[in-house]
């Protein structure tokens, strides 16, 4: 892997590409869904803030080293250490766009559909940086990291958990296409949270980097399972109510 390309950290390049792609995808989707340009700008700003400032703040909180003044320094971000950016993005973007637009079903679908491609770039950044690495692995698809990567032990075969997550996210757009025909608009975000939450909680079992454990589960697993469970319940009641409304 290449943690740096010259003096530039590789993860920052992929993060920047992901943020730019999120803006472009959001604009295209907003136009296709008939939403105003301000909605596209709102979700893009939320993604930018969530993936950078929010993810850095949550990482610092988790490691008990939060310094609000440091969050204003560019060098603090170059050092790496990001966690929970997607969670911050969703917490910010969902209430904001629901206020900005009356077409609530469309804006919720916009948030969900705009995530997969930028998130893949984010995980590629993790892969090349050597963070979020997996446990030791004896399978043929195990990967090794060179000296100088961010945390991953050098020369030891590990589970490519970053690639596992990329493959999970790659499947989601195809699932969206199938589900939208049967479930209609407005449910894609719930499906994303259900699929990604269950998938990410499973992938966490092969993570090898340090985590905050709460009982037998990591904090990430607890959040993912809780969000997935709530989403599945909402989908169930949505389906049940839809059937009751039919004559």
The structure tokens 């530039």 sit at 8
The torsion angles phi and psi of 243, rounded to 5 degrees, stand at: -70, -35
Q: CA-CA-CA-CA torsion for 107, 120, 27, 232, nearest 10 degrees? A: -10
CA distances from 36 to 42, 100, 188 (A): 10, 9, 19
pTM: 0.90
- pLDDT per position as a tens digit, 185-227: 788 999 999 999 999 999 999 998 877 788 888 989 999 999 9
pLDDT at 3: 66
pLDDT at 65: 84
Nearest partner of 119 among 228, 15, 4, judged by Cα: 15
Average pLDDT over residues 127-138: 89
Domain range summary for the chain, segments of one domain joined by +: 4-180
The pair of three-digit structure tokens given for residue 68, joined into one six-digit string:
């609000």
């Amino acid at each position: 892997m290449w943690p740096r390309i010259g003096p530039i950290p590789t993860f920052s390049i992929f993060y920047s590409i992901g943020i730019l792609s999120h803006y472009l995808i959001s604009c295209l989707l907003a136009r296709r869904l008939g939403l105003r340009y301000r909605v596209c700008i709102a979700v893009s700003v939320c993604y930018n803030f969530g993936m950078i400032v929010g993810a850095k703040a949550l990482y610092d909180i988790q490691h008990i080293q939060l310094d609000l003044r440091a969050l204003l320094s560019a060098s603090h971000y170059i050092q790496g250490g990001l966690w929970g950016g997607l969670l911050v993005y969703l917490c910010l973007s969902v209430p904001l766009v629901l206020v900005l637009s009356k077409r609530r079903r469309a804006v919720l679908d916009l948030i969900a559909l705009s995530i997969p491609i930028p998130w893949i770039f984010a995980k590629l950044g993790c892969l090349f940086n050597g963070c979020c690495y997996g446990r030791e692995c004896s399978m043929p698809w195990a990967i090794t990291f060179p000296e100088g990567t961010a945390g991953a032990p050098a020369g030891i075969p590990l589970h490519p958990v970053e690639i596992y997550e990329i493959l999970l996210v790659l499947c989601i757009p195809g699932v969206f296409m199938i589900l939208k025909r049967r479930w209609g608009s407005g449910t894609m975000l719930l499906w994303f949270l259900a699929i990604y939450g269950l998938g990410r909680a499973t992938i966490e079992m092969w993570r090898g980097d340090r985590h905050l454990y709460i009982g037998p589960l990591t904090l990430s697993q607890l959040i993912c399972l809780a969000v997935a469970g709530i989403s599945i319940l909402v989908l169930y009641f949505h389906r049940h109510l839809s059937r009751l409304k039919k004559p």
